[in-house]
Each structure stands twice: as structure tokens, then as C-alpha cells.
Amino acid sequence: MQQPDDKKTLTTSGKMSRRNLLAGAAAASIVLVQTASGKAFQAALTASELAGDPTKVPGVPPGALGTRSPFEKPVKVFSETSSRTPLQDLQGMLTPSDLHYERHHGGVPAIDPTKHELVIHGMVDKPMVFTVADLKRFPSVSRIAFLECSGNYRGAGDGKIRPQEICGLTSQSEWTGVALSTLFREVGVSPKASWFLAEGGDAAVMTRSVPVHKGWDDAIIAYAQNGEAIRPEQGYPVRLFLPGWEGNANVKWLRRIELADAPFMTREETSKYTEAVGGGKIRQFSFTMDARSIITYPSYPAKVEKGWIEIRGIAWSGRGKVVRVEVSTDAGKTWHNAALQEPVLDKAIAAFRYLWNWDGNPTEIMSRTVDETGYVQPFLKQLVAARGGNMGYHFNPVTAWYLQQDGQVLFKST
């Protein structure tokens, strides 16, 4: 740990550096290892199929990296700026790291962790520069919590849309790192500081203003995810993690924190990540992600049969714990409590289940969640009315699925 050198620039270069080339080569070698392992498994599978019995041929020996079965093919749906978690293909409460959603504003940078630094300065007693090794010397903390983009809602008129497309910009991991409050004490944050700027080391130089109280509360400078080093797409080597708050404020590839007595009014909190509400007003700094749920089975493109069906899904809230998930199988006329899978954690996704005997008649099924503050997940028409007819960020409507008589499941707007 050292104090910052005023002559040291904090800007990124537009040139391709040697470290970026080395990082690219390292990434390529990992891909080769994974590909080789996958080919070995496929060869063994082919041999087994030819033999007609997997007990008659040797299996795959131990390898450098584990692989999924070739029969399982969960993938993210991606665009130029984001990729969505296949919620309908997952089980339980945790998202595999390689299926965690992504949202980027300037692509994924290749960063050498031995050269990366985090500067903390501004309204502090002792400005400091921390290496990744320095951060790992501090007492560590771990917690399971969700992360969600505030623009996480899509609908479709023809009903042919999966949970992945509707709200796949949400995922959950175990995050490990150093509590930001620990670093605040180390640098001596001024009692007059009320905001801090978090700056990323990507091509967009992402910056967001965050209230200091969140830093003292539960913010983490995360360097690990699900037991391994945090992945490049999630901010390697370190990112800011703010449990329960909108994804954009959880700045990735974190390189600078500046303490101040007012918000910095950056692009991502003025022209972006604000939402229109009723009365011609614009809501700003709406960090907390409201309670939400979605049924992941049955959902499009599933086709079900008459009889017993286990309705499954996930629920979460940035306000705290989910205390109840209600399921309706008659288009919202009546509601029934679903079973929540323990443990139900603070600001974390909870899996829910409800056993239902479908009589074969067309109907709508849906879920809504209630969190520990008493907040109830609203219908889309309620949200639109409250926002003065405007659509945008922080949309968390009840999601319905329409079961046709032939068992085909389609998305239904509420």
C-alpha cells in the first residue's frame, strides 16, 4: 500500500499494450484447455455409443478443467452490450459463473492483476493506492446476493419469449472480497463526506456516484465469485459490489474511489439510469432494486401435460429478505403461498415451488413476491400508471404465463 503519485496518470491508453496481448494469449490458452477437455469427453461419448453400453469402454480420465455434459447446453442470449442468463435452464439459487449476465459499456478489458491498482482519495485523511495483493491482505468477507440491471424488463406481443429474455439480466453469486468500510477506516474518510465516486478501468471509464452510507453498510470490493477469482466479464480483478442496488452502480474493473460532499452528476446518473415518473418528473439515484419474481417452469417454450405440475421460480428483493411468494393459477383471481427453499437470505434470490394439478383447461399462471418491508410486486398496468405512462428503468411487473389447451406455454403481459 502506498500513497498516490500525483504524476501517475489514471487514464487509459488507446494503444494495444504488451499486457493486453499477454492477457489475450492467456485467455486463448484457457480456451484450448477447455476445448481439449470437451473433445476428450465427446470422444468417450462416441466410443460409448458405438459400444452400446458406457460400462464397456473406459471413461474420460481426470483433466485440468471440468466440463458440462454435452447433453446440457445452457447459453446466454447476447447482443453487442449485454448477455442474458438462461433462468429457465437453472436450478436452485446460484448462477454458474459462466452464465452470469453481462452488461458492458466499452467491452471487457484485459487487465493484469499484478499491475492493477485501486486509488482512494478526496475527502480522506490519508489518500492511498492499493494493489490487488494489498486488498487480499485485509480480512475478507463473503455473501450470497443477487445482481440485477435496472433495465431488466422485456415483453413480447406474440408470447414467444422466455424468462431469459424477460428478465435475464439478473444473476446470483457468492461474492468474496474486502468490506469497503475496512478501506474507509484505513484511509480515514472525513465525517463530512457524503458521496463517493466509483470509477472503472474499462474503455468507457464507467463512473457512478454512491452515497457514503452504503459504503459503510455492506459494500464489498470483490475479487472472487463462487469460489474462484472474479471473471473478466464480472470485473476482474476487482469490482465494487453493492448488495441490492442496481447493477450499473456496481462498477467493474474498479480503479478509483473519490470521497466528496456531493454527487458527481456523471453521464450514467443524469442522461442515463434515471426514469420518468408521473407529473413530468424524473427520478434520479433510485438505487434499490424492488421485489420481483418470475415462474421459470412452466414457461415458454415448454409444453406440459394435464395433471400434477411443480411450478418453479425465483424471487428477490433489494430491500431485504423475501418473506412470501404467492402463486395464482387462475389469472390472479386467487393466490396461494408457494414453498420457499431455505436458506432465504438478505438481498438474495430465493427459489420457490408450488405443486398444482392442472385440469387441462386454458388458464394463466403467475407469481408475485412480498419482501420484509411489506412491499408487494406490482402488475405492469400499476407500474405504467405510477410512471405517468412511461416505460424505462426499474420495471418489476408480475409476469404471467398462458397455458393453452394443448399444453403450450406462452408469455402473457399483465
- Each residue of 379-395: pLDDT tens digit? 999 998 888 877 789 99
Region 166-174 average pLDDT: 98
Q: What DSSP character marks residue 181?
A: H
Contacts of 206 (CB under 8 A, 6+ apart): 105, 106, 199, 200, 248, 251, 252, 268
Region 6-26 average pLDDT: 43
pLDDT at residue 299 in the model:
98
Q: Name the H helices within 149-295.
A: 163-167, 180-187, 212-217
On the CB side of 178, CA atoms within 13 Å amount to 20
| CA–CA distances in Å: residue 150 to residues 79, 109, 367 | 17, 23, 20
Cell triple for residue 318?
433489494
Contact predicate 186/128, CB 8 Å: yes
Interatomic CA distance for residues 251 and 208, integer angstroms: 7
pLDDT at residue 157 in the model:
74
Contact predicate 206/268, CB 8 Å: yes
Interatomic CA distance for residues 295 and 153, integer angstroms: 14
SS3 label, residue 40: helix
**Residue ranges per structural domain of the chain:** 89-283, 292-412
Contacts of 185 (CB under 8 A, 6+ apart): none
pLDDT at residue 210 in the model:
98
80 pLDDT above the threshold of 70? yes
pLDDT at residue 50 in the model:
61
Do you find a cis peptide bond into 263, omega within 30 degrees of 0? no
Q: Please provide the distance, in angstroms rounded to a whole number, between the alpha carbons at the two ends of the chain.
A: 54
How many residues are present in the chain?
414
How does strand 228-229 pair with strand 220-225?
antiparallel
Quote the strand ranges of 28-87, DSSP E: 77-78, 82-84
Interatomic CA distance for residues 348 and 99, integer angstroms: 17
pLDDT at residue 326 in the model:
98
Place of cell 445482481: 147
Please tell me the CATH code under which domain 89-283 is placed. Answer: 3.90.420.10
Contacts of 167 (CB under 8 A, 6+ apart): 87, 152, 153, 154, 292, 294, 399
To the nearest whole percent, how much of the chain has pLDDT over 90?
A: 77
Please tell me the CATH code under which domain 292-412 is placed. Answer: 2.60.40.650
36 pLDDT above the threshold of 90? no
SS3 label, residue 299: coil
Alpha-carbon torsion 301, 306, 312, 313, what sign? positive
pTM of structure: 0.88
Interatomic CA distance for residues 356 and 351, integer angstroms: 17
Cell triple for residue 104?
458492458
Q: What is the mean pLDDT of the chain?
A: 90
54 pLDDT above the threshold of 60? yes
393 phi/psi in degrees, rounded to 5: -75, 160
Interatomic CA distance for residues 374 and 290, integer angstroms: 11
Average the pLDDT over each of 143-157, 177-191, 197-211, 302-316 and give the range with the smallest value: 143-157
Closest CA to 108 of 239, 257, 266: 239
- Kindly indicate the confidence band of residue 150, based on its pLDDT and cuts at 50, 70 and 90: very high
297 phi/psi in degrees, rounded to 5: -150, 130
Closest CA to 207 of 198, 194, 219: 198
